[in-house]
Structure 1
Amino acid sequence: MNNPLLAIAVILLTSASALAGPTDELYKLGPDSQEQPGVPRGKLSEPIVLASKVYPNSTRNYWVYTPAQYDKTKPACLMIFQDGHAFLGLKGEYRIPYVFDNLIHRREMPVTIAVFINPGHGPDQPEATDKDWGDGTTNRRVEYNALDDKYSKLIVDELLPELKKSYNISDNPEHRGIGGASSGAICAWTVAWHRPDQFRKVISVIGSYTNIMGGHVWPDMIRQGEAKPIRVFIQDGRNDNRGTRKGGAYDAKWDWFAQNVKMVEALTEKKYDMTYVFGVGSHSGKHGGSIMPEMLRWIWRDHSKGQDPMDPAIKTPLGAETAGK
């Protein structure tokens, strides 16, 4: 772990787990996740429909957040969140527009456009919502949990060209992040793995590195592959889904927390620029939402240390040379 403050948080949360039990109510949103007086508000677009040739006969909504500091004459950084509906809500668990407003205003992260994209669905299927994320009613399972590069093609070849028609977005992969929760988290990792030429920052909340579609093999794939220039923050809870299948039998390939631990171990062995926080929560966004500002500060720590990631002279992420040590 590269951040001593986060290391302390892990120790405290580990000690608390025996007392707290499987509760998510320990985690509360702080001021960085709420509207603050005097902080300029960014703009959130109306939903935009993206059709796909990668996933034929499917569409999905996406929304674009533009920070108040955005200047169309200067390329902006970019972050894309899967399950977009869950991250854009101003009364939800993540409240990304408020977090971006506050951190960008204080220059704790660069001027960054956020895109919130939903999973695709066919013409006879509903759009994903906070009440139904679409596991059984949309393409979410096959789009997000597959290990191939198909979804990355939707992001890189279909979504990015549409965004660039309206926004000035940096082409430097160090200026681009991608994130999500649960299946959206493994999806974000998969995109960066296949396309580090496009995305090199990943936020993973309660990631589903399990056997939904073979995702339990990711730790082995990381060990067997060449290390890639990806910076990743992993969050999970010790009371996440723990691998109990029908009939009460335990299956490690379906243990969310154990698989997140294996991801951390593999990334550490390969000396990735990685940090993590394991709390006491369940398969919930409460913990991830409460530390989202800190996750973003860490992801963009080059900027917070006074090195603007938009500076073309910066070729290597600050701190990458000590990753895994």
Structure 2
Amino acid sequence: MRPSLLTSFFALVLCVSASAMDDYKLGPLSQENPSVPKGKVIAMTPIADSKVFPGTTRDWWIYVPAQYTPEKPANLMVFQDGHDYVKTTGNWRVPVVFDNLIASGDMPVTIGVFINPGHNGSYKPENAWRVSNRGKEYNTLGNAYTRFLLEEVLPQVQKDYKLTENPEGWAIGGASSGAICAFTVAWERPDKFRKVFSTIGSYVDLAGGHAYPYLIRVHERKPIRIYLQDGENDLDNPYGNWPLANKMMYAALTYMKYDVKFELGDGQHNSKHGGAIFPEAMKWLWGDARK
């Protein structure tokens, strides 16, 4: 093959490969189905009086499935960066997916809580990703965010809705820093949360999170079920290598015989892959709790 043709050939291969990477599509379970009962999404009054994170204000929402009845306590799933998950557009579309999976019996009746990180001060940026307290709340290890949920957020939910007291029925999920936050909540309080959905998790040294693979190996196994996702083209910067960090998490969890599933794709630091596999991830995560 002549050099010019060889160059063109490799350029074409690289172009095709680049276009194929991160090319994830949403499936039918992420699409609204007119024959499926639809739950309701309620915009809650912003939280502006936190004692755990004083001076912060945050938006949050609740999803209540159509099948919910007070006579039968519902399961619970909390999402960090709630604004991204509560939408019926975009990559997650949690209310749509929950409607479809609950109707088909592939997951139990589950109330969703979607909560944003807090912002300090009276001015709140239009872009919810730019709030000031996200890094502190999500990346910091310890029990502060867990206490915030258990002491300040969920009691408000329980005023109006009955939630199961079985920790196997409580799940929490997030992406990036929201993912390590979700894992931290379950790690700190497995007596409350025992299911974790983690995508593009920031298990790197943003605030000490790179210690988790080692902590997992030296602590007694906790009763947590974890679904991990990441992409080979995720971030690599001075704080760490995200694909490597997630592989180390999976290796540690596997070594300690946790109930864990890991999906590694070719994606970048976004929700394309996570959103595409979200319905199947929920089937797996709730597979031991279907009713």
* Aligned counterpart for 2:152 among listed residues 148, 158, 177: 158
CA contact 2:61–2:115 (8 Å) conserved in 1: yes
| Higher RCO (C-alpha 8 Å, min separation 6) | 1
What is residue 10 of structure 1 aligned with on the other side?
none
Aligned match for 1:222, one of 211, 216, 219: 216
Pairing of 1:7-156 with structure 2 (within 5 A)? 20-21=17-18, 25-50=22-47, 51-126=49-124, 131-134=127-130, 137-156=131-150
How large is the Cα RMSD of the aligned pairs? 1.8
Against the structure 1 CA distance between its residues 132 and 161, is the aligned structure 2 distance closer, same or farther, given a 3 Å change threshold? closer
- In 1, the alpha carbon distance for the partners of 2:289 and 2:204 equals 34
Is 2:205 aligned against 1:211? yes
Q: Percent identity?
A: 50
Check conservation: 1:236, 1:257, Cα contact below 8 A.
Answer: yes
Per the TM alignment, residue 22 of structure 1 is displaced from its structure 2 partner at its CA by 7.8
How do residues 266-305 of structure 1 correspond to structure 2 at under 5 angstroms? Answer: 266-304=252-290
**Counterpart of 2:95 in 1: which secondary structure?**
helix
TM-score scaled to structure 1, two decimals? 0.82
Gaps of 5+ in 1: 1-16, 246-252, 309-325
Aligned to 2:186: 192
Q: Which amino acid aligns with 2:236?
A: R
Q: Distance in 1 between matches of 2:262 and 2:275?
A: 14
Unaligned runs of 5+ in 2: 1-13
| CA shift for structure 1 position 34 | 0.8
Give the number of the structure whose alpha-carbon radius of gyration is greater. 2
Normalising to structure 2: TM-score of the pair?
0.91
CA distance, structure 2, for counterparts of residue 186 and residue 293 of structure 1: 21
Cα distance in 2 for residues equivalent to 1:22 and 1:180: 27
Specify the SS of the correspondent of 2:43. coil
Q: CA deviation at 1:59?
A: 2.1
Letter matched to residue 193 of structure 1: W
Q: Deviations over 1:247-280 (max 9, x none)?
A: xxxxxx5101100000000000000010110000
> Which runs of 4 or more aligned residues in structure 1 lie more than 6 Å from their structure 2 counterparts after TM superposition?
none
Residue 37 of structure 1 deviates from its aligned partner by: 2.2
Does 272-281 or 23-32 show the bigger shift?
A: 23-32
How far has the Cα of 1:242 moved from its partner?
Answer: 2.2
Number of equivalent positions? 277
